[in-house]
Amino acid sequence: MRKKKKILIGAIIITIIIIIFLLVKIALGPAKYEVKFDSAGGSAVSSLKVEDGKLITKPKDPTRDGYTFVGWYYNGEIFDFSTKITKDITLEARWMQTGEGKVSGVSLNTSSLTLKVGEEETLKATIKPSDAKNKDVEWTSSDEEVATVDEFGKVVAKKAGKTTITVTTKEGNFKATCLVTVSEDKISVVGVHITGDTTVYVGKTIKLKADIRPAEATDKTVTWTSSNKNIATVDNNGNVKGISEGKATITVTTKDGEKTDKVTITVKKEEVIPTVEATGIEISGEKEVLVRKDITLSAKVIPDNATNKKVTWESSDNGIATVDANGKVTGVKSGTVKIRAKVDNVVAEYEITVKEDKDAYVIKIKNKELELGGSLQVIYEVYRYGEVITNYQSFQYGKMTVTPESGTLPKIDNSITSTTLKLSDGTELVVTIEY
Give the model confidence (pLDDT) of 191-212 as tens digits.
999 999 999 999 999 999 999 9
Q: 211 pairs with which residues across the strands?
A: 193
**pLDDT tens figures, 54-94:** 998 899 999 887 777 888 889 878 888 888 999 999 999 98
Whether 211 contacts 279, CB under 8 Å:
no
Mean pLDDT along residues 341-355: 93
In terms of phi and psi (left: phi > 0; alpha: psi -120 to 50; beta: otherwise), the region of 14 is: alpha
pLDDT-derived band at 360, boundaries 50, 70, 90: confident
CA 327 to CA 317: how far, in whole Å?
15
Structure confidence at residue 353 (pLDDT): 94
How do strand 161-169 and strand 175-185 relate by DSSP bridges? antiparallel
Q: Does the pLDDT at position 373 exceed 60?
A: no
Q: How far apart are CA 174 and CA 179, in angstroms?
A: 17
- What does the pLDDT look like over 269-291, one tens digit per residue? 987 778 899 999 999 999 999 88
Position 350 scores a pLDDT of: 95
Give the pLDDT of residue 6: 61
Q: φ, ψ for residue 9 (rounded to 5)? A: -65, -40
Residue 206 is predicted with a pLDDT of: 96
- Phi first, then psi, for residue 256 (nearest 5°) are -85, 110
Cα torsion angle, 60, 65, 68, 70, sign? negative
pLDDT of 417: 81
| Number of other residues whose CB lies within 10 A of the CB of residue 115 | 19
ω before 129 within 30° of 0 (cis)?
Answer: yes
pLDDT of residue 164: 95
pLDDT bucket at 100, cuts 50 / 70 / 90: low
112-117 and 105-108 strand pairing? unpaired
> Cα separation of 376 and 373, whole Å?
8
Q: How far is CA 214 from CA 117, 211, 218, in A?
A: 18, 9, 9
What percent of the chain has a predicted confidence (pLDDT) above 90? Answer: 48
Is 60 exceeded by the pLDDT of residue 371?
A: no
Residue 127 in this model has a pLDDT that exceeds 60:
yes
The whole-chain average pLDDT of the chain stands at 86
For residue 82, the model assigns a pLDDT of 87
Average pLDDT value for residue range 49-57: 89
pLDDT reported for residue 292? 78
Q: Which residues contact 114 (CB under 8 A, 6 or more apart)?
A: 180, 181, 182, 183
Residue 217: predicted pLDDT: 84
Of 371 and 243, which is predicted with more confidence?
Answer: 243
Residue 71 pLDDT = 86
Q: What's phi and psi for 286, nearest 5 deg?
A: -65, 155
pLDDT at 364: 80
Question: Between the CA of residue 223 and those of 186, 200, 213, 240, 248, what are the distances in Å?
Answer: 20, 20, 16, 13, 16
Longest Cα separation, the chain: 153
Q: Report CA 43 to chain centroid distance, whole Å.
A: 56
Sheet-wide strand order for 312-315: 288-290, 346-355, 335-343, 312-315
Check residue 155 and give its pLDDT: 95
Rg (CA), the chain: 50
3-state secondary structure of 25: helix
Pairing of strands 112-117, 175-185: parallel
Contact 207, 234 (CB under 8 A): no
pLDDT tier at 119, thresholds 50, 70, 90: confident
Greater pLDDT, 262 or 185: 262
In contact, 265 and 289? CB cutoff 8 Å: no
Q: What is the per-residue pLDDT for 357?
A: 72
Q: What is the pLDDT of residue 23?
A: 64
Burial of 128 (0-12, 13-18, 19+ CB in 10 A): middle
Cβ(62)–Cβ(44) below 8 Å: yes
Is pLDDT larger for residue 215 or for residue 282? 282
Lowest mean pLDDT among 112-121, 255-264, 275-284: 112-121
